[in-house]
Structure 1
Amino acid sequence: MEFLKSGIKTVLGGTEPGQQPSAAETVEKLVDRVYSSTLLEDRRDACRALKALSRKYRIEVGAQGMPPLVQVLQNDGQDAEIIGYALDTLCNIVTSEEFDEEADNPTVSVNVGEQFTEMFIKTPENVTLVMGYLDEYDFRVRRAAIQLITSLIANKTRELQDLVLVSPMGVSKLMDLLTDSREVIRNDVLLLLIELTKGNSNIQKIVAFENAFDRLFDIVREEGCSDGGIVVEDCLILLLNLLKNNSSNQQFFKEGSYIQKLAPMFVLGQDVEEAGWSPQKVSNFHCLLQVVRALVTPSNQQQVVTACQRVMQKSQLLHALCEILMSSGVPADILTETINAVAEVIRGERDNQDELSRVMAPSNPPRPAIVVLLMSMINEKQLLALRCAVLYCFECFLYRNSEGQRAVVQTLLPSSASDVSSLSTGQLLCTGLFSADALANWFSAVALMHSLVENVALKEELLRVLLATPGGHRPITLLEQCTNLMQQERYRLQSKVGLLMLLSLWLAHCPGAVKALLETQGTMAYLTAQLCSNEHDEREFLVQGMCAFLMGLCIQFNDNSLPQQRREDISQLIIKRIGQETFCNKLAEVSRHEAYSRACKQAQIRAKSAGELLLDYEYCKLYKGLEALIAKLVSGFDVDGIELTELTLSSEASALVSQYKGIIRGMDGQIQALQQTTKELEQENTDLKEKLSEEQSLRAQISDQNTLLKAQLGATNGQASNHTPNDQTVSPAQPPLPAAAVPAASEEDLNAARYQANMYFAENIRLTKELETLRQQLVTEKQRSDATEAALKATQKDQEDLLELLADQEAKLTRHEDNILLRGEEETQTKSSGSSECPSSGGDAAIELSASR
């Protein structure tokens, strides 16, 4: 410190005894020295002193020293030392980091670096000037320029991104620095690129097409892959920035076979089990998993996700992830993130889902990996994040996987449930559904709900599930047990929410499930009591809204097969006991709840605490699709959404609205009638064409048969002429037949053939006439169809003419009003000028006005 003081004294000169200059005065003298000194050595010494003061007296140096420092960058580029001092000083001024030297200085605010950054970039040429020093190979200059740009980007990200984009070859310069042989430079550039690529797709694309993926993988391999240091983590963070929410880079990453380069990094060797997981390896592995998820997250374009999922399966990356799931000694946070990654790799991709279903855990006896995961999900001793990840993985396993859904339901049916020698998915879900742990109840209800998504047949199958009851009583169905648990007071709110979600998705589009629910004793009374209660707790409001939604489903998907429980009966119950307005207000409570907005954002389940787990993504999607329809059903609208009550308007407005409604309804009726007639005629025309084709085919067959009969008749006549008694010519090889037998038999055959030929000729004539009649009918129906279409077009033309007429009438009214105003003004002018003009001129003006009219 004394050396620093002596250096500053050397630059500034001595001071009088007893007079210590203030920091502002010292900086002012140094700034003046930078401005006025003609010797480079003097300016260099002043810049070195400013750099030394900038850590403790940042505000003083920044307020006075920024312009001269920029001047140094502009004029003294040939001297690397003074440029290094100037860049370091500017970096100290704008950095967001707080120095130890200024900890006791109360004048330094938190965002002082951001304020100086804003001052510096007001002149865009300053950034271009600093970017130019990236070309300097000198270590001090290049590194100081990189650190200054990094600090500027960290403070004003969007503004600096725009300035870098317009800087000549700005991004290319930065990418070239990744190949710098000096690791310190390379590592600093990684940090700069991480800041530069945040949230800017254009820069992300430029960096990716500047061969960034190859360079990053080379650095990762050189540093030891997942076993490497923090440089590997920086490379993976930059890789994540380039891929996240950037479909172009994701496609380029997939087509460049970089997924295949990523896959070997997930293979755990024997040394991992022996050496364990270091904190840096955990961080590196976490980033690797984030990169995988960035490629297959459900928010990406579906075609990109599907393509990446298939490559991950073929490149054995999915297999490696499944091996990690079943490995021992894996840290909990890595295991949790691996489960999430597996979930998104298999989501909606059938081959990947099948591969997970074949994975077996190394247990005794061996169990499917899915069963082991579900055991962790319903275990209340497991971490919340891990349990949420398992549920998300199970949901992704069932997503668009009808066979997987069926397999879960089959394990609950009586035929397969009798095998209790091994645990199954269905048994585990029932165990969690009926356990004393409220969170296990919720997880199991949501998992079972996803087994029924978009599968009405399985909803009917699940109605057959029977549960044994203690004491040898009759078994009860799963639906009865769910409704009974929902009505119990000891059942906690989170558990009720899970059951309500399960029942709602079960009943949607399944009249059989609605009927079973309505037959369960006390269910409708419980739902009605919930909607009539006046609880003021936010969570109770949510339960009431879900009960209203469940009751609405009982109306919408009711097949009216139960007396006293038809759609009209339930609607009347709501009107008399609850009230339409109250019901709709309760129904809307679901969408008002914070859990609804949180669950609608994404399919993955995220929760900081167990209390946040309330609504599921699929339930919110179902509610969003049916809530408006249910509200209309109860509020006086029919099922098609047509309002049944009239609005109260003024008499004049009501008459006008009624008139237009009548016209439009009449035209709509005519259009619908004509459309229906057209459909009938088209159908009739199609039938006639088919019948005509059949008749033509039959006629061709008859013609062929007629030709054949003619040939047979000719042959028969020939035989008759050859075998008459008067004919004495006989083949020498054959003895003559008895004279009495031959003529008698031939005359019978000839008569039968002639009779059959006559019948066919008659049938041919009849069918020809019928064919001609059908042709005439077809022509007539075609004319009627054309006339109907013409009438439809005429009606539409009339409607358009009516609208044009109304527009013309309005335009005419406007013109008449303008003419009346114009006439009034002219008459006023005429009266005012009548005393000064002669009568003849006034008469001429009147004549001209009349003529113009």
Structure 2
Amino acid sequence: MEYFKSGLKSVLGTQQPGVQPTGAEIVDKLVDRVTLSTLLEDRRDACRALKALSKKYRVEVGAHGMDALHQILETDRADCEIIGYALDTLCNITSPERFDEEEERNNVHININVGEQFTEMFIKNPDNVTLVLNFLEEYDFRVRWPAVRLLTSLLVNKPKQIQDIVLVSPMGVSRLMDLLSDSREIIRNDALLLLVQLTKSNANIQKIVAFENAFDRLFDVIKEEGYTDGGIVVEDCLLLMLNLLKNNTSNINFFKEGSYIQRMAPMLAIPENIEDVGWSPQKVSNIHCVLQLIRALVSPNNSAQITTSCQKNLRNANILEALCSILMANGVPADILTETINTVGEVIRGNLNNQEFFAGVMAPSTPPRPAIVVLLMSMVNEKQPFSLRCAVLYCFQCFLYKNEIGQQQVVQTLLPSTSNNASLTTGQLLCGGLFNADPLSNWFSAVALSHTLIDNPAQKEQLLRVLLATNVGSQPFSLLHQCALFMQQASKLQSKLGMLMLLSTWMSHCAPAVKMFLNVPGAMAFLTAQTSATENDNNEEVLQGLCAFLMGICVVYNDNSVQNYSKENLSQLIEKRVGIETYVKKLAEVSRHEVYAKAAKQPQIKAKHSNDLLLEFEFCKLFKALEGVIIQTLGAQKQLSNGMTELSLSEQENGLLLQYKDLIREQDNMMKNLNAELGKLKEENTNLKTQLDEVLQTNSQLQDQNTLLKAQLAAASGNSDVSQLLPVSTDATSTNMQNEKLIQELEEKVKRLEVDNEIKSEEMEKLLKDQEDLLELLTDQDATLNKYKNRLRELGENIADDDGDSDINSGEEVEGGITKN
């Protein structure tokens, strides 16, 4: 401490006895020395002192010394020592973290992100960032390391802006990539962290980094560090790779064609004595990153061509085999096991060769059992972790995806067999889970079984042959019959929804299944009661909507073979007991519900709690495909049932048609006026937004100044320099308040205009809808009138139109809402 004080004395000069300079005064003198000294040694000493003060007096150093530090970087770049001090100082004042020295010094907590404020000031001139990038070429540790740390701080504070600057900076990315070859580990490791930040959510930078030989360099580092047995540096390398590959088709292709998939294999090698050695926390993290990396290559969000090619390469590189070995190994941590199951699922999803390989994997049990059976045992076991059970279901779905052979094999295990195979089968496990007391097992099993039927009509009919005996000696019932009864009797919403999804998948496009369901006692009564119910508590609207959906399937795929439940009878039942309008509303509530939106996003089941599992991805696809078909079928059936029972049209029909046409003309005029008024409002709104942008830009600059002044006031609280800062701060605050008032006025005016725009737009939309309804009614009335007149002519009646012409619309044609004469 004495050495530091003596250093300050040498830089600042001797002070008068008993007078202690304030922090702001010390900083001002140091900044003057940096700016005005002609001797490099003096500037260097002053810069070193600023660095020492930059944590405790961050605000003062940043506010007063930013320009001086920039000047050092420009003029003294030949001296590595002073450049190092300047970069270190900039690192401190832009740091996203608060320093202990700051907290100890300030009695009042300043709720301002000071580092972000100074970063914004520093990067207002993009050349400042380019200047720092240029210093990366300097090999001297005193310069290169603080330059890396400064860029990292700037990235954390303003990622998008720094990414844009680096992109346009000549050789900017190349200089960063060269850091990975630095023999000094601390620089290489910090460069890794910098690149991880830089490549987040920026496809252009990701492509440049990948083509700068990133994968080769990263794999070399991983190998040097000992693959997944290495430290956190391995994790950083894998995170950077993950940034480069996730949702980046170009880089995935480059990775695949560059034979980098084969280089991943050693990272999944698990020693035989792993149960004795154990899994260190870092190894768990490293393996987890490798699994995420594999999933990025075969994600269902990728194009089918890329996914299929990567799946093939993963199998050829024995990575699928290695994943299955981890799956069957003992002592694997639960989170690694869960992620491995998900990864295996996506590596085999839709790939028949990989699915067949997985079907042949056997668990090392006594007697040996297929891995699929062992996984399903975990899924229906309520004692297993929830995330693990979800992963098993996802893996099983992936195994059955576009796999007719696999679907057939599962259904076959439920059919009567002449063999004496006493071992547990997939079908037995699913049936057991389907009807046990655990609602989550019901849901998992129902969804799993439904995936054996997707796009496979043959298996739907095969599954109808499955018989279950509820009690010893009792007559067995079909599996569908039991599902329909369980749907009525289950007390938990999750169980009911699982059964409804299974039955909907099973009965769609399968008339025999519909016939069997209609013969189940109470089945249609249950669906009707649920669909017409008015309670909407605890996701009941989803249940009611799915019951409506299943009723609709019974109409669409009905072969009229069940007495009292023909298409016509069911349509009338819906119309009379529920009401078509209410029925359509119930259906629509499903696709509008939050649980539907979440489930329809992706095939993988993701939920934090078991109660969140209500709908499933493939069912959402089915619902979306059939909702319109059901509504259309019910509408056609209603028209068919009404038949010729409509009353004859009145003699005033032509007069009514003319009234419609006049109304349409009137609405056309209103729409033209509204369009003109809307155009004026939009133009005024654009002008106001332009003014607002200009004021906001000016206000932004004033806010920067005011923020710094406030921070300085707080930092200087109780010191003599408060009185000097106060008048400046007051003026800036006053100007700032005036600007903010103007901004508020402009924003209110803009909002009023936007509301007016919205009101006018809504009026126009309403008019357009009314016009479309009128046109539709006009067309229907016209067609119906002609139909009846033709029938009367066929019966020998002499029919003439009111205007003496056989064409109702003689002389006029209504088209697109505009009458043409």
Instruction: Say whether the fold is shared (TM-score over 0.5).
Output: yes
Cα deviation 1:689-712 (Å, max 9, x = unaligned): xxxxxxxxxxxxxxxxxxxxxxxx
Aligned pair in 2 of structure 1 residues 803, 162: CA closer, same or farther (>3 Å)? farther
- Match for residue 457 of structure 2? 456
Paired with 1:659 and 1:626, the residues of 2 have a C-alpha distance of 27
Letter in 1 for 2:239: I
- Match for residue 154 of structure 1? 156
Aligned pair in 2 of structure 1 residues 435, 658: CA closer, same or farther (>3 Å)? closer
- Match for residue 518 of structure 1? 518
Cα deviation 1:185-207 (Å, max 9, x = unaligned): 11111111111111111111111
- Match for residue 343 of structure 1? 345
Paired with 2:780 and 2:473, the residues of 1 have a C-alpha distance of 67
Paired with 1:803 and 1:71, the residues of 2 have a C-alpha distance of 81
**Which residues of 2 match residues 429-828 of structure 1 at below 5 A?**
429-488=430-489, 490-634=490-634, 650-652=659-661, 657=775
- Match for residue 718 of structure 1? none
Q: Is the CA contact 2:103–2:109 (under 8 Å) kept in the aligned structure 1? A: no
Aligned pair in 2 of structure 1 residues 636, 27: CA closer, same or farther (>3 Å)? farther
Aligned pair in 2 of structure 1 residues 43, 804: CA closer, same or farther (>3 Å)? farther
Cα deviation 1:618-653 (Å, max 9, x = unaligned): 01111111122323444578799xxx9999985225
- Match for residue 133 of structure 2? 131
Cα deviation 1:408-454 (Å, max 9, x = unaligned): 111111236x7461000000001111111111111111100111111
Instruction: Report the Cα offset of residue 469 of structure 1.
Output: 2.0
Letter in 2 for 1:621: K
Cα deviation 1:493-530 (Å, max 9, x = unaligned): 11111111111111111111111111111011111111
Paired with 1:336 and 1:222, the residues of 2 have a C-alpha distance of 29
Aligned pair in 2 of structure 1 residues 639, 549: CA closer, same or farther (>3 Å)? farther
Cα deviation 1:549-598 (Å, max 9, x = unaligned): 11111111112222211122111111111112221222122112221111
Question: What TM-score do you get using the length of structure 1 for normalisation?
Answer: 0.75
- Match for residue 369 of structure 2? 367
Structure 2 portions without partners, runs of 5+: 666-774, 788-810
Letter in 2 for 1:12: L
Number of matched pairs: 673
Q: Which of 188, 191, 206 matches 2:208?
A: 206
Aligned pair in 2 of structure 1 residues 619, 72: CA closer, same or farther (>3 Å)? same
Paired with 2:556 and 2:819, the residues of 1 have a C-alpha distance of 46
Query: Which shifted more, 586-595 or 236-245?
Result: 586-595
Identity, % of aligned positions: 61
- Match for residue 356 of structure 2? 354
Q: Is the CA contact 1:134–1:146 (under 8 Å) kept in the aligned structure 2? A: yes
- Match for residue 102 of structure 1? 102
Paired with 1:131 and 1:5, the residues of 2 have a C-alpha distance of 34
Instruction: Report the Cα offset of residue 616 of structure 1.
Output: 0.5
Q: Is the CA contact 2:464–2:480 (under 8 Å) kept in the aligned structure 1? A: yes
Structure 1 portions without partners, runs of 5+: 670-801, 814-853
- Match for residue 93 of structure 2? 93
Question: What TM-score do you get using the length of structure 2 for normalisation?
Answer: 0.78
Check if 1:51 corresponds to 2:54: no
Instruction: Report the Cα offset of residue 302 of structure 1.
Output: 1.0
Cα deviation 1:714-758 (Å, max 9, x = unaligned): xxxxxxxxxxxxxxxxxxxxxxxxxxxxxxxxxxxxxxxxxxxxx
Aligned pair in 2 of structure 1 residues 39, 285: CA closer, same or farther (>3 Å)? same
Paired with 1:547 and 1:19, the residues of 2 have a C-alpha distance of 86
Instruction: Report the Cα offset of residue 364 of structure 1.
Output: 0.5
Cα deviation 1:329-356 (Å, max 9, x = unaligned): 1111111111111000000000000000
**Which residues of 2 match residues 273-292 of structure 1 at below 5 A?**
273-292=275-294
Paired with 2:111 and 2:49, the residues of 1 have a C-alpha distance of 23
Instruction: Report the Cα offset of residue 2 of structure 1.
Output: 4.5
Letter in 2 for 1:60: E
Aligned pair in 2 of structure 1 residues 167, 526: CA closer, same or farther (>3 Å)? same
Q: Is the CA contact 1:102–1:108 (under 8 Å) kept in the aligned structure 2? A: no
Instruction: Report the Cα offset of residue 152 of structure 1.
Output: 1.0
Q: Is the CA contact 1:264–1:317 (under 8 Å) kept in the aligned structure 2? A: no
Query: Which shifted more, 243-252 or 557-566?
Result: 557-566
- Match for residue 239 of structure 2? 237
Cα deviation 1:72-92 (Å, max 9, x = unaligned): 100110111111111111111
Aligned pair in 2 of structure 1 residues 33, 545: CA closer, same or farther (>3 Å)? same
Check if 1:247 corresponds to 2:249: yes
Paired with 1:61 and 1:620, the residues of 2 have a C-alpha distance of 59
Paired with 2:71 and 2:499, the residues of 1 have a C-alpha distance of 72
Instruction: Report the Cα offset of residue 309 of structure 1.
Output: 0.4
Partner SS state of residue 330, structure 2: coil
Cα deviation 1:88-107 (Å, max 9, x = unaligned): 11111112122222234345
Aligned pair in 2 of structure 1 residues 442, 52: CA closer, same or farther (>3 Å)? same
Paired with 2:352 and 2:782, the residues of 1 have a C-alpha distance of 51
Instruction: Report the Cα offset of residue 470 of structure 1.
Output: 1.2
Instruction: Report the Cα offset of residue 129 of structure 1.
Output: 0.7
Letter in 1 for 2:7: G
Letter in 1 for 2:12: L
Letter in 1 for 2:55: R
Paired with 1:12 and 1:378, the residues of 2 have a C-alpha distance of 77
Letter in 2 for 1:187: N
Letter in 2 for 1:459: K
- Match for residue 412 of structure 1? 414
Paired with 1:150 and 1:803, the residues of 2 have a C-alpha distance of 73
Cα deviation 1:647-693 (Å, max 9, x = unaligned): 99852258995899599999xx9xxxxxxxxxxxxxxxxxxxxxxxx
Instruction: Report the Cα offset of residue 112 of structure 1.
Output: 2.3
Partner SS state of residue 198, structure 1: coil
Instruction: Report the Cα offset of residue 274 of structure 1.
Output: 2.8
- Match for residue 80 of structure 1? 80
Partner SS state of residue 177, structure 2: helix
Check if 1:380 corresponds to 2:389: no
Aligned pair in 2 of structure 1 residues 200, 655: CA closer, same or farther (>3 Å)? closer
